[in-house]
Chains A and B, each alone.
Chain A
């Protein structure tokens, strides 16, 4: 059963703690992405990675970090430096070289920080 897995679905943390969100894909996709979605808002790009061991900042990278040690995995760490971490986090991936940019999304992780 191919797709993108995000775990856990719900995550609760105390303010000041770092937290890592998991994203795994078995689609053999090269590119992976992390988005943040706030209630009633659009999708804001946090980080993306085109290949293993390489990644680029998106529009709102401050307070977040990522790693891409394996093709199938792209974990996102929400650090204590992120001022408003409570949000719905979406991981996505795209197929390999060439247009068009068909992006597939995971089911999301809802993070609540109190």
Chain B
């Protein structure tokens, strides 16, 4: 019940396309859902995060969509660029938690 399932494992999109990465969870106590972006050989960096009281959050070209009833959330990247090629991780945590639960990661490639 502590797992976060992420899909797809890898994704290839043409420049300008809209890659979508999906995550699903079981624990309804989760109340914080961040996304991390990791470039090869670097540490992950917080990209965007959402709380369950909203259904969507945008920051620049990155959008999180959140479906509380389905216990799913997804990351959309508008007007994707080759520089967006990276591994993306979703995660979840709850009030008082001491650690994040991470998804397995999605390796995204944006072709020129």
- Chain A residues within an 8 Å CB radius of B93: 99-101
| Contact of A48 with B98 in the complex, beta carbons under 8 Å | yes
* Interface of chain B residues 76 through 112 with chain A (CB within 8 A): 89, 91, 93, 95-100, 102-105, 107
Residue in A closest to B98 when the chains form the complex, CB atoms: A50
- Chain A residues within an 8 Å CB radius of B60: none
| Contact of A101 with B41 in the complex, beta carbons under 8 Å | no
| Contact of B103 with A42 in the complex, beta carbons under 8 Å | yes
Once bound together, how far apart are the Cα atoms of A60 and B77, in whole Å?
Answer: 33
Once bound together, how far apart are the Cα atoms of A58 and B101, in whole Å?
Answer: 11
Once bound together, how far apart are the Cα atoms of A33 and B98, in whole Å?
Answer: 10
| Contact of B100 with A107 in the complex, beta carbons under 8 Å | no
Decide if A45 is an interface residue (CB 8 Å cutoff).
Answer: yes
Decide if B12 is an interface residue (CB 8 Å cutoff).
Answer: no
CB distance from B4 to the nearest CB of A (A): 10
| Contact of A103 with B100 in the complex, beta carbons under 8 Å | yes
Decide if A85 is an interface residue (CB 8 Å cutoff).
Answer: no
CB distance from A9 to the nearest CB of B (A): 9
Once bound together, how far apart are the Cα atoms of A92 and B36, in whole Å?
Answer: 13
Decide if B54 is an interface residue (CB 8 Å cutoff).
Answer: no
Residue in A closest to B50 when the chains form the complex, CB atoms: A100
- Chain A residues within an 8 Å CB radius of B95: 99
- Chain A residues within an 8 Å CB radius of B19: none
A42-B105, A100-B49 known; 13 other A-B pairs, CB under 8 Å? A4-B43, A41-B104, A43-B44, A45-B99, A48-B98, A99-B95, A101-B32, A101-B99, A102-B34, A102-B49, A103-B46, A103-B91, A107-B43
The chain B residues found within 8 Å of chain A, CB to CB, are 31-32, 34, 36, 41-46, 49, 51, 89, 91, 93, 95-100, 102-105, 107
17 contacts between A and B (CB under 8 A): A31-B98, A40-B107, A41-B105, A43-B44, A48-B98, A48-B99, A50-B98, A90-B44, A100-B32, A100-B34, A100-B49, A102-B34, A102-B46, A105-B44, A107-B43, A108-B41, A108-B42
